Amino acid sequence: MAEPSGRATNRQGTLVRKELETPKAAAIAGILFAVLFTATIVLIRLAIPETLNGVSVAEWLGNRTRSVSLALTLVPFAGIAFLWFMGVVRSRIGELEDQLFSTVFYGSGLLFLAMTFVSAALAGGILSSYALGADQPIADDVLVFGRAVMYNITNIYAIRMAGVFMLSLGTIWVRTGVMPRGLAFLTYIVALFLLLAINLSLWAILAFPAWVLIISVFILIANLRGQNKRSAELAVE
């Protein structure tokens, strides 16, 4: 039985609207990830620095527990936003997706996210250890160990997975042409920086959310332009 033309038209309009709105929402999620992840890194690294210049970790944490607690609250939301960002990146590739580079893209992105959660959990463990045993002699040793593991996971493993994530994505973009070559080459540059120069500064990790912010803003603007163009075409029809 044939479907009424009015219902078919409404269904087609709904499909078009969903196709436009989903990438836009994901692009906004990428912006949220950049903001939340940057805030998390800044709060944790100011509260639990790598060097204390002779001051004990317990003493340093004394007036900074609220900062760490706030950062730990933001981490899950940053992770959710990053998953949405991965979704919109995949949606732009579409049927041009290559299995080899896509596998590296998914794997490195998920590993980065998993290790970010582990690092945040260690920061939470440091905070809990301080709260439970700040006055005990062993407390500072536990805090120092937890801090060292946390920074090793972030600086050696997680951020390099972010670099691999960007290299694979940049290669996909160059081969498919779904993103401007300028952004693809910028992706290569930032990825190599994260892979090779991360030991120069602990704050170098902030280059990753900055890159996500640039890509998300570009996708958001492109989607808005496409939506306006589609609306204009429908108005002419």
- The H or E element spanning position 188 is helix 181-196
DSSP 136: S
Query: Has residue 224 got a pLDDT over 90?
Result: no
Query: Residue range 173-179: average pLDDT?
Result: 85
Q: In the predicted model, what is the mean pLDDT of the chain? A: 76
More confident residue, 207 or 152: 207
Alpha carbon distance 162, 152 (integer Å):
15
| Mean predicted confidence (pLDDT) in 5-30 | 55
Q: Is-above-0.75 flag for pTM? A: yes
Which pLDDT score is estimated for 52?
57
DSSP H or E run through 95: none
What are the sequence ranges of the domains in the chain? 25-236
Is residue 1 pLDDT above 60, yes or no? no
Residues 6+ apart with CB under 8 A from 14: none
* pLDDT single digits (tens) 188-220: 999 998 888 766 666 788 899 999 999 989 888
Q: What is the pLDDT of residue 113?
A: 93
Buried b vs exposed e over 198-213: b needs ≥16 C-beta within 10 Å? beeebeebbbbbebbb
Written as six digits, the tokens of 229 are 């163009």
* pLDDT for the residue numbered 13: 47
Q: pLDDT tens for residues 68-122? A: 788 888 999 999 999 988 888 877 776 766 777 778 888 999 999 999 999 888 8
pLDDT the model gives residue 112: 93
DSSP string computed for 40-65 = HHHHHHHHS-S--TT--HHHHHTTTH
Instruction: Name the pLDDT band for 231 (thresholds 50, 70, 90).
Output: very low
